[in-house]
């Protein structure tokens, strides 16, 4: 990691009070930036950060919403890079409240893109999800549009060579707000049944530290228009629940309730689409999907892809985490959040 890259830089983090935004802040403070701007609409969480970093004068707190073009534009003035982590992300809500997800994930991203172009911000990193691949829900659809918004710069005739827009694509980040790990832990400590939608459902998992490493690697190594994805592993949600009980020292007889697949959910996820196969390479444990070039047609391409689509499928047993790896994720989550290791 080239710490000098971030030295004396002015950095904007949209959604800066969210789980990923705070992690980015924690990491970047170690690299001697000149200023980090925390942009979010959550006043209480900004208050909490002010308290946590009461002795830190490099942080500037800005209340605002990515939906508000003027707020985003003002927050962007004079920055050297943007980490765009502001988003609505919960699938069931997206199916019920379509307009809200469009406003934040699509229109909000357009505002960030416009502001970055207006102020000629050298580097913008857009944080996305594996749910953009063949999306079955509105959340995935809106994030797929977000990726297109930022990768589109590479196709513009008058693009600035001084600017780059890069997407990073996550799986399920362990321990983030509303994600699987805290839900299972909360259900156990409140003595409620663990709810699992379907016994065969699989998901890709990535720790918050791995997610930040991906973001920073993309910042340093990524090129304009690229989408960068960690080479992640997957497992069944049922296996995570079973091993949570094991780590916490609870009997296997603890109740698990299968609730059925929710609207917009898929049994399995993928990391890339079929047409991405022709534009994907692997480097340093990451997949790099290059952007389309002008006039390119994947359908007519005679090249044979280097990878097979099943390599990127969460339901492929070759991609499964071992029990030891899953337990390590669980223990790291418990340690990081100072949670009890044993429930009596």
The answer to the question of residue 330 being in a domain is no
pLDDT of residue 219: 97
**Separation of alpha carbons 258 and 25, rounded Å:** 38
**What DSSP designation does 30 have?**
G
User: 237-247 and 180-189 helices cross at what angle (nearest 10)?
Assistant: 50
Bridge partners of 126? 84, 167
The mean pLDDT value for 33-38 works out to 98
The answer to the question of residue 248 being in a domain is no
Burial 238-273 (b: 16+ CB within 10 A, else e): bbbbbbbbebbeeeeebebeeeeeeebbbeebbbbb
pLDDT of residue 301: 56
Q: Which residues are catalytic?
A: 131
pLDDT of residue 340: 61
The enclosing domain of 223 has a CATH number of 3.40.50.720
Residue tagged 């969480």 (tokens): 45
Mean pLDDT, the chain, whole residue set: 92
Burial class (CB in 10 A: 0-12, 13-18, 19+), 65: middle
**Separation of alpha carbons 3 and 30, rounded Å:** 8
The mean pLDDT value for 285-301 works out to 73
pLDDT at 332 over 60: yes
The answer to the question of residue 331 being in a domain is no
Tally the domains of the chain: 1
Give the chain's end-to-end CA distance (angstroms, integer): 42
Q: Tens digits of per-residue pLDDT, 172-195? A: 999 888 889 999 999 998 999 999
Among 124-128, 187-191, 246-250, 340-344, the range with the most confident prediction by mean pLDDT is 124-128
Q: Tens digits of per-residue pLDDT, 59-76? A: 999 999 999 999 999 999
Which is it for strands 286-289 and 280-283: parallel, antiparallel or unpaired?
antiparallel
pLDDT of residue 176: 87
Q: Tens digits of per-residue pLDDT, 212-249? A: 999 999 999 999 999 999 999 999 999 999 999 999 99
**Separation of alpha carbons 280 and 311, rounded Å:** 12
pLDDT of residue 8: 96
Among 132-141, 251-260, 271-280, the range with the most confident prediction by mean pLDDT is 132-141
The answer to the question of residue 228 being in a domain is yes
pLDDT at 343 over 60: no
Q: Determine the length of the chain.
A: 344
> What domain range includes position 64?
3-171+206-232+272-301
Q: How confident is the model at residue 40 (pLDDT cuts 50, 70, 90)?
A: very high
Instruction: Read off the pTM.
Output: 0.93
Cβ-contact 61, 38 below 8 angstroms: yes
Burial class (CB in 10 A: 0-12, 13-18, 19+), 27: middle
Bridge partners of 205? 172, 233
Q: Tens digits of per-residue pLDDT, 106-124? A: 999 999 999 999 999 999 9
pLDDT of residue 3: 79
Q: Which has the minimum average pLDDT: 172-181, 201-210, 301-310, 316-325?
A: 301-310
pLDDT at 294 over 70: no
């Amino acid at each position: 990691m080239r710490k000098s890259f971030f030295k004396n830089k002015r950095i904007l983090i949209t959604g800066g009070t969210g789980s990923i935004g705070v992690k980015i802040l924690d990491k970047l403070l170690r690299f001697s930036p000149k200023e980090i701007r925390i942009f979010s609409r959550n006043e209480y969480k900004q208050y909490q950060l002010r308290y946590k970093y009461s002795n830190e004068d490099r942080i500037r707190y800005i209340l605002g919403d990515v939906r508000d073009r003027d707020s985003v534009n003002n927050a962007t003035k004079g920055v050297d890079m943007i980490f765009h982590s502001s988003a609505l992300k919960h699938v069931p809500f997206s199916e019920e409240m379509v307009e809200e997800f469009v406003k934040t994930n699509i229109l909000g991203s357009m505002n960030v893109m416009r502001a970055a172009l207006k102020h000629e911000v050298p580097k913008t990193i857009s944080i996305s999800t594996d749910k953009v691949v063949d999306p079955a829900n509105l959340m995935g659809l809106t994030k797929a549009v977000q990726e297109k918004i930022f990768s589109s710069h590479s196709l513009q005739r008058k693009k600035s060579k001084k600017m780059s827009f890069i997407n990073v694509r996550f799986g399920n980040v362990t321990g983030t707000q509303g994600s699987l790990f805290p839900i299972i832990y909360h259900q156990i400590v409140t003595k409620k049944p663990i709810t699992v939608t379907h016994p065969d459902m699989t998901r890709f998992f990535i720790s918050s530290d791995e997610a930040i490493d991906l973001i920073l690697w993309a910042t340093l190594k990524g090129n304009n228009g690229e989408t960068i994805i960690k080479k992640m592993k997957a497992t069944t949600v049922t296996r995570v629940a079973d091993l949570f009980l094991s780590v916490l020292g609870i009997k296997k007889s603890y109740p698990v309730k299968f609730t059925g697949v929710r609207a917009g959910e898929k049994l399995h996820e993928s990391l890339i689409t079929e047409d991405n196969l022709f534009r994907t390479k692997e480097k340093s444990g990451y997949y790099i999907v290059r952007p389309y070039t002008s006039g390119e047609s994947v359908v007519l391409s005679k090249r044979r892809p280097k990878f097979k689509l099943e390599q990127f499928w969460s339901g492929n047993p070759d991609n499964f985490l071992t029990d030891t790896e899953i337990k390590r994720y669980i223990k790291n989550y418990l340690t990081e959040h100072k949670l009890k290791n044993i429930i009596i």
